[in-house]
Chains A and B, each alone.
Chain A
Amino acid sequence: MHKIKRMFIYMILSIFAIISIFPFIWMIVSTTNKSVDVTKGRLLPGTHLVENLQNLFSTVDLVPALINSAIISIATTILSLIIASLAGYGFEIYRSKTKDVVFNILLLSMMIPFAALMIPLFRMFGTISQIAPGIGIDTLISAMLPSVTTAFLIFFFRQNTKMFPRALLEAGRIDGLTELGVFFRIYVPTMKTTYAAAAIITFMASWNNYLWPLVVLQSPENHTIPLLISNLGSSNSPDFGIIMTTIVIATLPTALIFFLLQRHFVAGMMGSVK
């Protein structure tokens, strides 16, 4: 009886695992097949990987899109981490009733759907374009500014700051560090794992962000990876070999982060329910 039960559990889990992995296998296999074979549903590896890569680089502007995505994601991650950790630290270490009220108001911003912000933001950047075109519509900066500060990340840092030993703080003060010095010299190095988790969440969100860049980045040379894939996917005469190769390349950075930093990855996700 027990054996049958266990077999049954393995069977169910295997089915779910196969369903989860299958699109990946198909995607990876398709990078080595010709477009015709992909549409035929070929599931065996072919010999056209090099050809697909060559076609990809000669017909699709993958490298500029990769560079744009990298610039936006890395800059967003660095700025987000600085701004959110300063705030999370400030709210927890210099706690006061008024600040708690401010904190709760900031949390409300998590409820606002992006669709509601999109139009006013677009109009706002339209106005900025007339004064300072460098940060107006259709610039990489405009694509990242609205997502640089999120209440979620402030919340995440505040939750983790609760576990920061305050004795360290006092020790730093006695050693004559300024308040900002305590933050940078003591808090930041102690909270490395929190920063790692936060960096992963932010980088992933930024790398995969679609709607706002779609609205604000109009010229093709500013396109990011999601915009590029979306355009390839909606073309009238798609070359499936090229598209699948692009998707695999675009997924590589996040896949690498996942497999190398799995522990931080999950810690980052769980941060929200701690």
Chain B
Amino acid sequence: MIPATTKQNIQVKPRKYHNKFRFKNGLIGWAFISIATVMICIFYFYPMVQALILSFKSGAGTNLQFVGLDNYLRLFTDPTFIAALKNTVIYLIIQVPIMIILAMLISVLLNNKKLKLKGFFRTAIFLPCITSLVAYSVVFKYLFATDGIINKMLINVSLISEPIQWLTDPFWAKVTIIIAITWRWTGYNMIFYLSALQNVDHSIYEAAKIDGANAFQQFFKITIPMLKPIILFTSITSTIGTLQLFDEVMNITKGGPGTATLTISQYIYNLSFKYTPDFGYAATVSYAVVIMIVFFSILQFKAAGDKNA
């Protein structure tokens, strides 16, 4: 993910231009990157600093006053924030591993050379990625309605006798969100594993077979170590995505019932645009997300071992 870890074979030839040209050349280089740099500063770094300043202020609307660390202390006693944090962590520790394991499993099955209809399976499983988050969320909301088609099908095959309250029961509402996200993103992650698997040299497996390794040993001793960088990449991107979860929850359950599915992003939105706006406290909550993203990213890098993962 970070460019410094990729192969950089480009050799910079020592040029013997005189200084004036080098200076001019340098300026042209800066000109090329100037627009992008200015734009990122205006639309990312400047707001980021503004949010930090805001997080020490409080008040309704534009009437903001410095309150020091009050907002940060409020986080610890705010039941809605704690509920949103809990939900987000639940999504994270349940959904991300399920999805990564599924993506890996499917890609290993698809990587079989003798498999027919490979293209069909790959396209079908990737297809959810073409939908917009809002569109698929609305579809899932109706699929999982109490009188919806999922309940009807489950009753028809006698898996359940009573319809499940997918959207209105606190437990099942979380399950619905997890199912929805898994449906949308498994195929996306699968593509990364597939392309990594295609780069694995088949002779390694041949050698392992000769040494008497069975399929499980091959998977855990060869495939998993080979896929380590991709596992790291997909878990970091999925973690960052989950910590920012908004569209799905907003459109499937609106965070409800109560605060059972509320996410931090949605709470920030509610604090700023739904309730009486408290931009200061909302900014504090958003910094909690920043801290979590940094924390989890470092954690995953550590868990994956050294830097050459």
Contact = CB atoms under 8 A, between A and B. Distances in A.
A6 B117 CA distance: 13
Interface stretch (A49-57, A133-141, A227-235): A227-235
Given A107-B2, A146-B43, A229-B138, A116 B127 contact: no
B50 A162 contact: no
A13 B102 CA distance: 11
Given A106-B36, A204-B130, A273-B230, 5 more contacts: A123-B50, A146-B43, A211-B246, A233-B141, A269-B191
B81 interface: no
B279 A255 contact: no
Contacts, number: 260
Interface in B105-131: 106, 109-110, 112, 114-115, 120-121, 123-128, 130-131
8 contacts: A13-B106, A24-B127, A41-B148, A94-B28, A106-B37, A158-B3, A226-B134, A272-B1
B187 A20 contact: yes
A87 B269 CA distance: 33
Interface stretch (B5-13, B164-172, B301-309): B5-13
A99 interface: yes
Nearest to A102: B37
B28 A179 contact: yes
A251 interface: yes
A272 B189 CA distance: 12
B265 A113 contact: yes
B250 interface: yes
Interface in A256-274: 257-258, 262, 266, 269-270, 272-274
Interface string A48-90: 0000000000000000000000000000000000011011011
A168 interface: no
Contacts of B282: 119
B287 interface: yes
Interface string B229-250: 1100100000010011011001
B139 A112 contact: no
A113 B289 contact: yes
A234 B247 CA distance: 13
Given A119-B51, A208-B132, A247 B138 contact: yes
A273 B191 CA distance: 11
A44 interface: no
Interface residues of A, number: 92
A149 B188 contact: no
Interface in A136-174: 145-146, 148-149, 151, 154-155, 158-159, 162, 166
Nearest to A162: B10
B35 interface: yes
B44 A39 contact: no
Contact of A210 (B134, B187, B230): B134
Contacts of A9: 109, 112, 115
Interface in A18-51: 19-21, 23-24, 26-27, 38-39, 41, 43
What 6 pairs across the A-B complex have the smallest Cβ distances?
A94-B29, A90-B32, A87-B36, A120-B47, A233-B138, A208-B132
B147 interface: yes
B40 A151 contact: yes
Given A13-B106, A111-B240, A23 B50 contact: no
Majority SS at the chain B contact face:
helix
Q: Which of B51, B141, B272, B279 has the most CB of A within 10 A?
A: B51
Q: Interface residue tally of chain B, by bracket?
A: 35 or more
Interface of A: 6, 9, 12-14, 16-17, 19-21, 23-24, 26-27, 38-39, 41, 43, 83-84, 86-87, 89-91, 93-96, 99, 102-103, 106-107, 109, 111-124, 145-146, 148-149, 151, 154-155, 158-159, 162, 166, 179, 183, 204, 207-208, 210-211, 215, 225-226, 229-230, 232-234, 240, 243-244, 247, 250-251, 254-255, 257-258, 262, 266, 269-270, 272-274
A95 B40 CA distance: 19
Nearest to A110: B240
A94 to B, nearest CB: 3
A251 B37 contact: no
A230 B134 contact: yes
Given A20-B127, A113-B243, A270-B192, A149 B43 contact: yes
A119 to B, nearest CB: 5
Contacts of A119: 51, 54, 268, 272, 279, 282-283, 286
Contact of A215 (B2, B102, B254, B273): B273
Q: Which of B33, B102, B290 has the most CB of A within 10 A?
A: B33
B195 A258 contact: no
Interface in B19-50: 25-26, 28-33, 35-37, 39-40, 43-48, 50
A217 B3 CA distance: 36
Contact of B29 (A20, A93, A115, A117): A93
